[in-house]
Structure 1
Amino acid sequence: MDFDAVVLGGGIVGTSIAIHLQRRGLAVALIDRKPPGNETSLGNAGIIQREGVYPYAFPRDLAKIARYASNRATDVRFHAAAMPKLVPFLYRYWHHSRADRHAKIAKAYSTLIEHSVSEHRELIEAAGAQSLVRTQGWINAFRTSKAFEAAMAEASHWQDAYGIPFDVLADGALQAAEPSLGPALRYAIRYSSAESVSDPSGLVGAYANLFEKLGGTFFIGDASTLESGWRVTTESGVVTADQVVVALGPWANDVTTKLGYALPLEVKRGYHMHYAAKPGATLNQPVLDAEIGYVITPMVRGIRLTTGVELGLRDSPKTPVQLEAVEPFARQTFPIGERLDEAPWLGRRPCTPDMMPVIGRAPNHEKLWFAFGHAHHGLTLGPVTGRLIAELMTGEDPFVDPHPFRAERF
């Protein structure tokens, strides 16, 4: 029960870290309260967003802010009772979202994003998980020419600045690519360098199996029992280690606060539901209905409908009003049938106000490491973060400059 390193958190980030450390000769324990891939990593749209060099910003347009303030938008909702706690965080988020600041953030963030597909592919090959992967990209679709033209300008900028390729699907090309889509979606951009998976939880499970084949050990345990020295209580007993990595996503502050850190981590909540496709209907890749704010994506379980953002306290009860609001639009867009889940799934995206993850050594503990705050790109950046943390922990030259992601920036 004595290890070189303990990784707290069995999502895509923690599991990827555990693999890379185990590969480098460390004896690694991976600890979570559930089997790998059954919390935040379970519920996303399954997209590895190679194009996502600009992390999702807070709107700066006053008309859009006013629309969200009404709390009737389909893509963003908020809990009024949570606002006193969230407003300071949201102000900092708005501050960092100014165009010049956002561009500077993107320059640093792109150094992670550029390796997202290649690092996943390497682990997918090693884990034998190729059957879960689709390589044709994903579709950002629009109902109006105005919204489409604005997105085209953005995509062209990404292409010029960062070499992100895209295809334009107009004049019937969208329906040719996805024949089962209805006529409401008229224009689209396909980001062809991205990839997607048909079972995000299954992918994490495959990575966890690879970790165990490499000699690593997974434990069911409670990360909040972490004590200095590094000791963690699990169902199998107390695990000790020389180093510890906190990769707990939205629950990271439960541990870091006890250790004396005050990091600005909040959550964007979101929901999903699976549906049967009606006879003869097919969906080949994820499709974002951009002006309404939901994604439909083909999964092993069925067609997954994922919502936009719900701003609320992390542990507040489910309020899936967004799912109810967008489902009628999704039914017009694609012929979905009955619901396949007993209840909507609620997930929590861990977010920092500058939209970048915290990756690196803890400032006040020599053998404590942080890897969380990946917001909408946890699946995208899991393997990249895993390699970067492992290189830092073992004294290798890091393949990405870790400086922009250090905890000290706060």
Structure 2
Amino acid sequence: MTKDVIVLGAGIVGVSAALHLRQRGCDVLLVDKRAPGEETSFGNAGLIEASSVVPYAFPRDWRTVLRFACNGSTALRYDLRSLPAYAPWLARYWRESAPEQLAAAARDMLPLVSRCVAEHEALIDRAGLHALVRPTGWLEACRSRASFERTAREAQRLAATHGLAVDILDSAALQRAEASLAPGYAGAVHWHDPLSVSDPGALTKGYARLFEREGGRIVRGDAATLEALQTRGNGWRVQTDDGAIEAATVVVALGVWSGDVLRPLGYRVPLMAKRGYHMHYEGAANAALNRPVVDIENGFVVAPMKRGLRLTTGVELARRETPPNYGQLDGAERLARPVFGLGRRLDEKPWLGLRPCTPDMRPVIGAAERHAGLWFDFGHAHHGLTLGPVTGRLIAELIVGETPVVDPAPYRPARFA
């Protein structure tokens, strides 16, 4: 079987790329070992983060670094045995997080972030998924007065610079906005522009159904079988449950697994996983949480989902094959339970996901240097759900030769050559 394009990876990034390619008339096959939206796209905090105009950087103040080094923070944990594998990546991440470099990363990411809601809304309208999305914004809540004042000042600066809608809520105003919260926060910043999603996996599956309704095809297959058809000119082949599929163009949108496919082809992209956990809980009976809340000091998010209250952790640095360590989740649960009124756990065991991160905080989007018809679309870090549709549009425009919606230069794969 021959297709125009094979997209490898059926998370939000790959599904979005496949949708946009199909919209432009390409015959597209979407390939994954699992059904759409069942890996990292399933387990996130459900935020379409229009206000996240500054990437998540490595902390530069030594007080925070020392706190993380003690390995007791719920915001960041590390597996000691994994640190040698992370060391070169962390060194570059540290350098890229210096003020000047971070400002450049923010400038480069802004064109994507500023379009994230509009691109989602276009797909939501076409797919009829409005019931999954709420225009409630989200809250950055601070436990200490000093943290609240710093967060509020920075929020007002960013809002004024980028035209974002924000309210500063003291503890009394926060209680009025979220009656289910017990005392514990000095105040919060309410960002109005982001959307929240009550079931991120269902949203991805809904986009995948739209792709199929519009003529695309989804099959199970192993991306690791990808091979170049060098003896027959340009082209690619991958093995699926329906047999071998060939196409002139292939898009690698496999998140942290992208390197597994690209290394045999000679590409070494510095892509590492920031692991994260989640668990669902029964909520307090007297009131419902209206919007996601991030605990600034402790790095976790509590978000209202269809299944219950989802607690998502901060970052764990551990190799993909390292067994789960639920200590970070347990610590976040102890901190969140009295404030959010968390009830009993609803999941049989905690979920573990892998955020695909580059050290310069930009995704990898564009054509491979040495192989015709090979395209990259991965490395979205904490913002896969946020940026999937807009980067899907960008990669599709590049492949078919349209004028791209944003300048793709900052995301080019060749920067890691």
With normalisation by structure 1, the TM-score equals: 0.99
Which letter does structure 2 place at the counterpart of 1:392?
A: L
Partner of 2:232: none
1:210-239 deviation digits (Å, cap 9, x = unpaired)? 000000000011100001031111111111
- Structure 2 segments unaligned to the other structure (5+ residues): 230-235
- Structure 1 segments unaligned to the other structure (5+ residues): none
1:176-206 deviation digits (Å, cap 9, x = unpaired)? 1110101002200011011010000000000
Which letter does structure 2 place at the counterpart of 1:143?
A: R
Q: Say whether 1:162 aligns with 2:162.
A: yes
Q: Distance in 2 between matches of 1:154 and 1:26?
A: 44
Aligned partners of 2:291 and 2:304 also within 8 Å: yes
Q: Say whether 1:265 aligns with 2:238.
A: no
Q: Say whether 1:339 aligns with 2:350.
A: no
Partner of 2:328: 322
Shift of 1:336: 1.5
SS in 2 for 1:338: coil
Q: How many residues align?
A: 410
Partner of 2:142: 142
SS in 2 for 1:257: helix
Partner of 1:296: 302
Structure 1: 4+ residue segments shifted above 6 A = none
Q: How does 1:224-303 map to 2 (within 5 A)?
A: 224-229=224-229, 230-303=236-309
Shift of 1:171: 4.5
Q: Distance in 2 between matches of 1:293 and 1:304?
A: 14
SS in 1 for 2:193: coil
Shift of 1:157: 2.6
Shift of 1:129: 0.4
Q: Say whether 1:97 aligns with 2:97.
A: yes
Partner of 1:369: 375
Shift of 1:365: 1.4
Aligned partners of 1:296 and 1:303 also within 8 Å: yes
Overall identity of the aligned pairs, in % = 52
Worse-superposed segment, 207-216 or 171-180: 171-180
Q: Distance in 2 between matches of 1:220 and 1:122?
A: 27
Q: How does 1:111-190 map to 2 (within 5 A)?
A: 111-190=111-190
Q: Distance in 2 between matches of 1:92 and 1:194?
A: 30
Shift of 1:170: 1.1
User: RMSD of the TM alignment (CA)?
Assistant: 0.9
Which letter does structure 2 place at the counterpart of 1:207?
A: Y
Shift of 1:122: 0.3
Aligned partners of 2:273 and 2:354 also within 8 Å: yes
Shift of 1:104: 1.0
Shift of 1:105: 1.0
Worse-superposed segment, 148-157 or 171-180: 148-157
Partner of 1:199: 199
Aligned partners of 2:3 and 2:247 also within 8 Å: yes
Q: Say whether 1:14 aligns with 2:20.
A: no
Partner of 1:54: 54
Q: Distance in 1 between matches of 2:154 and 2:34?
A: 40
Shift of 1:57: 0.1
1:233-260 deviation digits (Å, cap 9, x = unpaired)? 1111111111000000010000111111
1:310-340 deviation digits (Å, cap 9, x = unpaired)? 0010221111110111111111111111101
Shift of 1:281: 3.0
Aligned partners of 1:246 and 1:369 also within 8 Å: yes
SS in 2 for 1:20: helix
Partner of 2:29: 29
Which letter does structure 2 place at the counterpart of 1:281?
A: A
Q: Distance in 2 between matches of 1:163 and 1:62?
A: 32
Q: Distance in 1 between matches of 2:93 and 2:157?
A: 23
Aligned partners of 2:89 and 2:359 also within 8 Å: yes
1:123-173 deviation digits (Å, cap 9, x = unpaired)? 011011000000010000011111011112221231233222211111511
Which letter does structure 2 place at the counterpart of 1:145?
A: R
Q: Distance in 2 between matches of 1:69 and 1:59?
A: 12
Partner of 2:63: 63
1:329-379 deviation digits (Å, cap 9, x = unpaired)? 111111111101000000000000001100111111121100000000000
Partner of 1:76: 76
SS in 1 for 2:353: strand
Q: Distance in 1 between matches of 2:171 and 2:206?
A: 40
Partner of 1:398: 404
Q: Distance in 2 between matches of 1:190 and 1:178?
A: 11
Aligned partners of 1:281 and 1:335 also within 8 Å: no
Q: Distance in 2 between matches of 1:367 and 1:171?
A: 55
1:370-397 deviation digits (Å, cap 9, x = unpaired)? 0000000000000001100000000000
Distance 1:171 1:349, change over 3 A: closer
SS in 2 for 1:281: coil
With normalisation by structure 2, the TM-score equals: 0.97
Q: Distance in 1 between matches of 2:23 and 2:134?
A: 27
Worse-superposed segment, 359-368 or 28-37: 359-368
Aligned partners of 1:198 and 1:299 also within 8 Å: yes
Q: Distance in 1 between matches of 2:81 and 2:165?
A: 42
Q: Distance in 2 between matches of 1:400 and 1:111?
A: 6
